[in-house]
Structure 1
Amino acid sequence: MPQTITVKIKLLPTREQVEILTKMSYEYISTINTLISEMVEEKKSTKKTSKHLDSFLPSAVKNQAIKDAKSIFSTKVKKSKYKIIPTLKKPVCVWNNQNYSFDFEHIYLPLVLNGKAKKVPVRSLLIDKENRNFDLLKHKLGTLRITKKSNKWIAQISVTVSNEYRNGTKVMGVDLGLKVPAVGVTDNGNTKFFGNGRKNKYVKRYFRKKRQRFGKEKKLHAIRKLNDKEQRYMKDQDHKVSRSIVNFAIDHQISVIRIEQLTNIRQTARTSRKNEKNLHTWSFYRLAQFIEYKANLAGIKVEYVNPSYTSQTCPSCSKQNKAKDRKYKCACGFETHRDRVGAMNIRYAPVIDGNSQSA
């Protein structure tokens, strides 16, 4: 099944290239906004080509700007019956897949130098741990977007990967939570706990206290920077946990990973009053997405199941019991970690059709 993902690559442009990319990025969104305004006024899609645009952009980028403007006009403006007229503000520049190339150290792009378009190399960090980026870039490439974020230039390349799922019947259940971010149990009982919930809780409490202090001092800019830092930390943790889960599945030749459906997880998750603030700022959905796309790349299918009573039902005798603290005990003699019970039951819970809901 084809899957489209975005590969992010850090760029290391020269001072001259920074000036050019900055100018082109502002010119790009200005061109799109102008074209949209013209189409709104004429009540029809533009027939302009790159020859009609007088802007500081190579022809290939002009054509992409026209394409993007037409797309916004048809999908947002016309669809809303002219009630929504978007205005782009964030500087960005886009090249289609026929106008860029790369090697191990550079991305080659058409840039405007001395008034003329010329394909030039921009240094980039294409090689990452385990060469995952470079392996992904061997698949079908889409557009390349360059943006500036936190004084760093980032290239975002759209990649379509055609996956073939593994043959086999081995299933692994994954239970998501707070104190233990994830627990995986294979169909033959192999178990692994992923992530460090206590550390995550400590980090979130640390950021929350600093936000409260900055709020009293009315340092809004500092609060925004702190929020970004916290989000980057939590996103990195989700990436690490999801990567560990998929690697564990690969090591045990798993064909299907099953995760609880995320609808109403905030209402049904097991937590205490002291964990309530963490529960409502936890991105269960993002972690599930990371697991799904990494698993699909490895040829492992992800299915979502009904989580009802998965943490209470005894895997041995099917009786329902409530866990005390972190231990689950049943009258039949079965005893284990309560999050492991959830993962064990998720392996064989009814599969829900369609995609999971947002948490």
Structure 2
Amino acid sequence: MQVTVKIKLEPTKEQADRLKTITADYICLVNQIVAKYVEADMNLRYSSKDIIANLPSAVKNQAIQDAKSVFARYKKTVRTNGKLRPADQKQIKVPVLKKPVAIWNNQNYSLKGNILSFPVIVDGKSKRIKVQAILTDYQRERLTGKSGSLRITQKSGKYIAQIAAEASAQHVKADNKVMGVDLGLKIPAVAVTEGGKTRFFGNGRQNKFIKRQHRSVRRKLGKLKKLKAIRRRHDKEQRWMKDQDHKISRQIINFAKENDVSAIHLEALSGIRQTARTSRKNEKNLHTWSFYRLA
């Protein structure tokens, strides 16, 4: 499992100026590359040598990867929009990043004690700067696993470092509280704490009723050969399912916080279609089960 640890930074005035410059240059570069991709209507081959920017090579390469991701999402939106009937189509704008940010991969920064070190451009050359970081013991424990990328942003005039790290739940202390969550069709989620406190989440009957409605409408549209209408109806159902899962997951987290739970054990769902015994009327609901998103 990967977690993101947010760390407050206390840069000097000179370091803050350099962070302001590099975060602004980073999003400017990403936007420039995306614009070139859109103009060519394809991913162009770029390397740090092809890019003219006041950024270290590693940061340039990261900007190229981010631009590819932004362009891929844009193309997907364009394709989805193109499948709609002309009256429902919208004008798709090219995404433009506005919030200053800069990203370094895990090979180009280090965190030792309370010092975060990473490269920036100083007098035209790549040079590491050491910025004071404020870490709690809890944050240090979360960073003991394998580290991922470093992301620096600015919020309310203060700089925040976000470090992705692999977290393992195999070492749970005896004094920590654990909560189990069971997933199902009649009741989407049931949570039980170590103290025996139980909470039910979601409305399975409502879920099945809504899904039956959508299936019935799709069946009628299928007989009329209205394929575009079927696709739109399916997207509407998927959006509703995602919204329900999001609400349930938030309720589970809030329940865990209320009971000082430090670890949540979720039911293993691997191979459930083959192993679960279900009635014929629930078979369709099982095979279109969306609750993997709760994990």
Q: Which category describes the TM-score, using the shorter chain as reference length? A: 0.5 to 0.7
1:241-273 CA distance string (max 9 Å, x none):
xxxxxxxxxxxxxxxxx6532569xxxxxxxxx
Deviation at 1:52, TM superposition (A): 1.1
**d(CA) in 1 for partners of 2:13 and 2:98?**
23
User: Within the alignment, does 1:288 sit opposite 2:243 as a pair?
Assistant: no
1:54-78 CA distance string (max 9 Å, x none):
111111100000011011112x122
In structure 1, which of residues 60, 71, 75 is the aligned counterpart of residue 69 of structure 2?
71
**d(CA) in 2 for partners of 1:173 and 1:298?**
11
- 3-state DSSP of counterpart to 1:57: coil
In structure 2, which of residues 2, 17, 20 is the aligned counterpart of residue 19 of structure 1?
17
**d(CA) in 2 for partners of 1:101 and 1:81?**
40
Deviation at 1:140, TM superposition (A): 1.8
RMSD of aligned alpha carbons: 3.5
Match in the other structure for 1:163? 169
Task: Tell me the number of residue pairs that the alignment of Structure 1 and Structure 2 aligns.
Answer: 205
Match in the other structure for 1:114? 123
**d(CA) in 1 for partners of 2:293 and 2:47?**
42
Match in the other structure for 1:103? 112
- 3-state DSSP of counterpart to 2:25: helix
User: Within the alignment, does 1:261 sit opposite 2:198 as a pair?
Assistant: no
1:67-122 CA distance string (max 9 Å, x none):
11011112x12212373521100000111111010111110010111111111211
**d(CA) in 2 for partners of 1:260 and 1:28?**
46
Q: Is the 8 A contact 1:49 1:63 kept in 2?
A: yes
- 3-state DSSP of counterpart to 1:22: helix
| TM-score after normalising by structure 1 | 0.50
Q: Is the 8 A contact 2:9 2:158 kept in 1?
A: yes
User: Within the alignment, does 1:142 sit opposite 2:174 as a pair?
Assistant: no
Q: Is the 8 A contact 1:263 1:356 kept in 2?
A: no
Gaps of 5+ in 1: 175-183, 192-257, 265-282, 304-351
**d(CA) in 2 for partners of 1:187 and 1:162?**
20
Amino acid at match of 1:163: A
1:123-152 CA distance string (max 9 Å, x none):
0012x1xx1111111112111110110111
- 3-state DSSP of counterpart to 2:23: helix
Q: Which has the higher contact order (CA 8 A, sep 6+)?
A: 2
- Percent identity over paired residues: 39
| TM-score after normalising by structure 2 | 0.60
Deviation at 1:289, TM superposition (A): 3.5
Q: Is the 8 A contact 1:262 1:356 kept in 2?
A: no
- Pick closer, same or farther for the CA change 1:44–1:114 going to 2, 3 Å: same
In structure 1, which of residues 56, 59, 65 is the aligned counterpart of residue 57 of structure 2?
59
Deviation at 1:50, TM superposition (A): 0.6
User: Within the alignment, does 1:88 sit opposite 2:101 as a pair?
Assistant: no
Q: Is the 8 A contact 1:165 1:299 kept in 2?
A: no
Amino acid at match of 1:354: F
Deviation at 1:11, TM superposition (A): 0.1
- 3-state DSSP of counterpart to 1:81: helix
Q: Where has structure 1 moved over 4 Å in runs of 4 or more?
A: 170-174, 184-189, 290-293, 297-300
**d(CA) in 1 for partners of 2:194 and 2:114?**
44
1:253-307 CA distance string (max 9 Å, x none):
xxxxx6532569xxxxxxxxxxxxxxxxxx88546346779x9x9654046xxxx
Match in the other structure for 2:28? 30
